[in-house]
Structure 1
């Protein structure tokens, strides 16, 4: 961009788009286009690329989170809703367990009273829990909303267009912040981490599920071969888009390794930081608290 013959600092700054060097503004546009292109086939491709294992990774994230009724979740880059839907299911399960415990302690209740108790808990809308899916890409949110309607996730879920680097929320608002397979696509990772810290309540938890560094040399070679030789082909066959999936593979290699990302979390103020490698480090769950 030229303003009165002077190039702005923002346009001079360079970053990476996969293995390509681009301006920061250009990266934002390119990433947006990638996810706009893949949105309709996003879930199908996730299953194809990971052989369905991504579902287990996301289940693991929820078990690490272990949300209780009343939890306020912000699911950033949550697009098609996979994490939020699991959150809703988990909270519903905790509510059912809570109801059973309460009813067992009151053995003299009639069948009608028991039925009414279950009905009342259903009407509480997740016991006060609420999830906001926030994504910069309108097409991804559109797909997520359609899934929510078809699968019955209509209560306790909101959808908001927003940038991870400049979230449209007040300070100290959420109990848990999640970002799954999204933070490697932001232009300024540290800025996204600062925003995560800002919107979390004191005591709130940051959880990131992201592709990481494989710690098994033999598996690492197989993983690289599969990533660069198979995944773009799947993208072309299933989604008609080789370039987007080539970028997604390359972006994984540019993302900081486990210890480096942990240090970035600590730099913005997160404490009790840790990570758990899954599938030999193909993905990792990073956790930190705002204390």
Structure 2
């Protein structure tokens, strides 16, 4: 092992091995990624993403990084919202950079059609192919727990943001009550892998999904990590009782 262990589900693995393991998972699920999100969440993930887009409030002329944006689910929301604002008050087109480590996910996103504001690139959240202080906003939705070094990804997000830039991270988190946690655990471990087996033909990938959520820091610890990366005005909002959480921060 070349350094401190990285997490891959409930396993501890060599940090150099994790990117390939994660890439293998998303290579297998890319074509059915959006369908599976609908099946697993009953469509609730769409409400969470709508809330993130509303909080971001994309504007004409802004540069937005959609990190781990794979299929473009968030980027399309941002493009449409910025375009509506542009029709009301003018201004130049927004620019939205979808960056994802997995080429299959990018391919699945582009196959669904794009928007003129969106550019697509394969890239690493820990080493974004973007210059310093180039973006007005950075968004990562359900992607940061798959990164080998979360702190490095947070520092990289801060690097590419302009002064005043907004950071938004939507990620699965910890339910805030014990009954909800027990119900969520039962659903996660018994139902989600079975959905993966039946509809995607891949129980293992969705077992990893469930396990990776449990290994991710809870709301308070992750908020502390964001602050440690140099962000200010760190806050979070729980969705569905803490099943997911939106973390927000600013560069000052």
Q: Under TM normalisation by the shorter chain, which class is it?
A: over 0.9
Pick from 126, 130, 138 the counterpart of residue 169 of structure 1: 130
- Across the aligned residues of Structure 1 and Structure 2, the Cα RMSD in angstroms comes to 1.1
- The structure 2 residue matched to 1:210, chosen from 156, 162, 171, is 171
Is the 2:232–2:249 contact (alpha carbons within 8 Å) kept by the matching residues of 1? Answer: yes
Identify which of 66, 87, 94 aligns with 2:85. 94
The residue aligned with 1:136 is 101
CA distance in structure 1 between the aligned counterparts of 2:6 and 2:147, rounded to whole angstroms = 11
User: What is the rounded CA distance, in whole Å, between the counterparts of 2:248 and 2:38 in structure 1?
Assistant: 25
Structure 1's 208 and 12: CA in aligned 2 closer, same or farther, altered over 3 A?
A: closer
Q: What SS does structure 1 have at the residue aligned with 2:249?
A: strand
TM-score, normalised to structure 1, is: 0.84
Work out which of the residue numbers 76, 80, 86 in structure 1 matches 2:67: 76
Give per-residue Cα distances to partners, 1:111-157, cap 9 Å, x unaligned. xxxxxxxxxx6xx7xx331100000100000001111x2xxx33111
The size of the alignment, in residue pairs, is 252
**Equivalent in the alignment of 1:234:** 195
SS in 1 for 2:16: helix
* Distance in structure 1 (CA, Å) of the matches to 2:12 and 2:74: 31
Counterpart secondary structure, 1:54: helix
Partner of residue 276, structure 1: 237
| Deviation of 1:13 (Å) | 3.2
Higher helix fraction (1 or 2):
1
Equivalent residues of 2:70, 2:105 under 8 A apart: yes
Unaligned residue ranges in structure 1 (runs of 5+): 1-9, 99-120
Deviations 1:246-277 (A, max 9, x none): 00100000000111111101111100110000
Q: Point out where structure 2 has 5 or more consecutive residues left out of the alignment.
A: none
Which deviations, in whole Å up to 9, do the C-alpha atoms of 1:70-113 show, x marking residues without a partner? 11100000000011000011112212333xxxxxxxxxxxxxxx
Q: Give the deviation of 1:239 after TM superposition.
A: 0.5
Q: Using the alignment, how far apart are the partners of 1:176 and 1:74 within structure 2?
A: 6
Distance 2:154 2:45 in 1: 23
- Greater than 4 Å deviation, 4+ residue runs: none
Which position in structure 1 is the counterpart of 2:39?
A: 48
1:90 and 1:216 map into 2 onto residues whose CA distance is: 35
Deviation of 1:12 after TM superposition, in Å, equals 4.5
Determine which structure has more spread, i.e. the larger CA radius of gyration. 1
